[in-house]
Amino acid sequence: MINNEEEQLEEQQQQQQCIRVASAAFPPHTLWFPPNTTVTKTLGGVVPHILTYLAQSIGRCVVYVTNSEDTYGKRLDNGSWTGGIGMVNRGEADMTAVMSMDQYRYHAGDISEYFLIDEHSAAYKRPGVQSDITGFIRPFTPLVWLLVLVSLLLVLVNLAVLSHTQHYLDNLNLPSIPSTRSRGGEGTTTAVQGVKQQQQQQLQESNPTHQPQHINRDAVFWTICTLLAQSVPLKPRGGGAVRWLTGLWLLLCFILATVYRSNLKAMLILPKVSLPFNNLEELVVAGLPVWTAIDSVLHRSMYFAEPSSLLGGLNRTIYNAGEPQNTSWGAAGLIQGAHVIAVPKLALLQVMDVDYSRTGKCSIFRMESFMKTNIISLLFKKGSPFKHKFDSMIRGMREFGVLGHNYQRAMMNVSRCLKTIKSNALRPLSLGDFYGVFSIYIGGLYMAFNCFLVEFLSAVIVKGRRRSPHHHNKHNDDQTNPQQQQQRQDEKM
């Protein structure tokens, strides 16, 4: 009995000599191991080792106490605090572990010399170079494609109009026929009409594609084939206006085809990775769901920000389903690509370090920082005797690089994932890269097959009509009529 009482007294004396530290999960500063379990946990991270060294320097030990919320708490309307800060104010703890400071926490106790000045940032699942079914239209922007379509229509319409105009002028410029009167006026008129018809027939035979019913078809065929860099057995006929138009169109098509092929090859050989956002403004515009810890410094800043500001716009995208105060839960959703996570930069670096250590890949990208005045400090109870003792040692460790070295050593692999995402990451082409081109090719074959069927059926129908007796008699009548007309003309002559 006496031995048990002595042991209890020694434990009480040791506890009185130890500094009670209210702690909560705040990676990478403080972490619970194992995470997300209800069994007995051990506090790890960078800060526990530093606090142990500081306490031993003044002849004390450290005892970590926690609260059911596992947070440093928030300020209530009556001025009291919950979480770890509430434990310090109620005398249940002597100090807190490091946490982000704001104007409310600054007045809740005595703030120590700052450990470091952190920043806030956001991260999302890293995009990769993947197959794109619409890759064949990527070399030009939608505006350029629209301008190409408008130019095609303008050239097509102008070429058809100019060709019709040239055909009309050719008919007007036929050579005049001298009138040779003989026995009667009717014979002379008939002869002149026959000669004009013969001249028109000779003009059409010299250029059979320049017939009126073929002008629109040839204009469409030549304009589109030139744009697609396909050979076409047609030569637009006309004056100087047609030559200028076709020359400019040929030059434009040559430039477009050259630039298209060059850009397409560049995209296939050196694909470009497009980030969904890289700053706060782009993150707000993207409209992706954003996870952040409830009652954190960032969450309060967004909540009280003006709705028209960037932080106010970010507040409208907050996504706090699941466990809104569990950073491990938020990090798991980040790795899966379920949401964006917005937390202090060091917390993101710790998530990226753990992810790379497990998978050997960098699956997370981080945008540039914002809110670059996030002070990380300890909070003591007002009038605490430990503050001045700790401040001098914290200042020395910070200025001599000891604190920075401890954080770097805790996240040794994160430097591999902080490199700029390269746009020239090599990737072998997959079948998905050709789906778009294959679909157009198959669609063209389908249309060509339908045209073939229509032409074949039309030829069969026309051939059947020619074999019919009615068509045969009509054809004979058409052949005898010119002979009878010639005989009548000879008789009149």
Report yes or no on 9 lying in a domain. no
Work out how many domains the chain is built from and give that number: 2
pLDDT of 96 above 90: yes
- Answer whether residue 63 is part of any domain: no
Q: What tokens appear for 338 in the block?
A: 């379920």
Residue 397 falls inside a structural domain = no
Instruction: State phi, psi for 228 to the nearest 5 degrees.
Output: -85, 5
Q: Answer whether 252's CB lies under 8 Å from 244's CB.
A: no
Report percent pLDDT > 90 for the chain: 20
Q: How far apart are CA 203 and CA 180, in angstroms?
A: 24
pLDDT at 397 over 90: yes
Q: What is the pTM of this model?
A: 0.60
CB–CB of 24/294 below 8 Å? no
Residue 166 lies in a domain: yes
Domain stop point among 247, 270, 293 = 270
- One-letter amino acid identity for 67? N
Of 99-108, 161-170, 180-189, which range is least confident? 180-189
Domain assignment present for residue 89? The answer is: no
pLDDT digits (tens, 9 = 90+) for 442-462: 888 888 888 889 888 888 888
Most confident of 13-22, 165-174, 177-186, 279-288: 279-288
Tell me whether residue 152 is in a domain: yes
For residue 145, being part of any structural domain is answered with yes
Q: What share of the chain is helix, strand, coil (3-state, %, to 5)?
A: 55, 10, 30
Tell which of 221, 239, 270 closes a domain.
270
The pLDDT value recorded for residue 62 is 93
Residue 485 sits in which domain range? Answer: 434-493
Task: State both tokens at 132.
Answer: 């794109």
pLDDT digits (tens, 9 = 90+) for 118-168: 999 999 998 866 666 677 787 888 898 899 999 999 988 888 888 878 777
Last residue of a domain, one of 238, 254, 270: 270
Look at residues 219, 338, 359 and name the one whose alpha carbon lies nearest to residue 290.
338
The two structure tokens encoding residue 318: 């907050």
For residue 169, being part of any structural domain is answered with yes
User: What whole-number distance in Å separates Cα of residue 352 and Cα of residue 478?
Assistant: 90
List, for residues 12-38, the tens digit of each pLDDT value.
544 557 999 999 888 899 887 765 554
Residue 204 pLDDT grade (very low, low, confident, very high; cuts 50, 70, 90): low
Q: Which two tokens stand for residue 296?
A: 């954190």
CA nearest to 54, candidates 315, 284, 482, 390: 390
Residues 20 and 15: their CA atoms lie apart, in Å, by 9
Q: Phi and psi (nearest 5°) for 91?
A: 85, 10
Of 110, 115, 106, 111, whose CA–CA distance to 46 is shortest? 115
